């Protein structure tokens, strides 16, 4: 006879249910952290690459302004 609480005596899925819920929660937290990290790294890389391009232009490694503008345009695509 199952009684008032059902088959698991009021524990529902028991410990297994709590573990599954915890794993699902941890997965979503991990996913959110990865998305945030990826979105932040993309903007940092663009800023850094443009800074390197400016440094190269200032040092004279890129001699023509036209070439500099062309490279800058490629970075922003």
Q: What are 47's two structure tokens?
A: 């800023």
On whether residue 59 sits in a domain, the answer given is yes
User: CA quadruple 43, 46, 52, 55: dihedral positive or negative?
Assistant: negative
On whether residue 10 sits in a domain, the answer given is no
The pLDDT score that the predictor gives to residue 47 is: 76
On whether residue 29 sits in a domain, the answer given is yes
Half-sphere exposure of 1 (CA within 13 A, CB side): 2
Q: 17-54 pLDDT, tens per residue?
A: 888 899 999 999 999 998 888 776 655 666 788 888 88
On whether residue 60 sits in a domain, the answer given is yes
On whether residue 33 sits in a domain, the answer given is yes
On whether residue 48 sits in a domain, the answer given is yes
On whether residue 7 sits in a domain, the answer given is no
On whether residue 14 sits in a domain, the answer given is no
Nearest to 52 by CA among 64, 66, 44: 44
- Residue 30: domain span: 20-75
Q: How many domains does the chain have?
A: 1
Global pTM reads 0.42
Q: 65-75 pLDDT, tens per residue?
A: 888 888 888 88
């Amino acid at each position: 006879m199952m009684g008032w609480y059902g088959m698991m005596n009021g524990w529902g899925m028991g410990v297994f249910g709590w573990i599954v819920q915890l794993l699902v929660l941890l997965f979503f937290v991990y996913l959110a952290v990865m998305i945030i990290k990826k979105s932040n790294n993309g903007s940092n890389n663009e800023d850094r690459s443009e800074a390197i391009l400016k440094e190269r232009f200032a040092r004279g490694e890129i001699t023509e302004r036209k070439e500099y503008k062309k490279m800058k345009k490629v970075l922003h695509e």
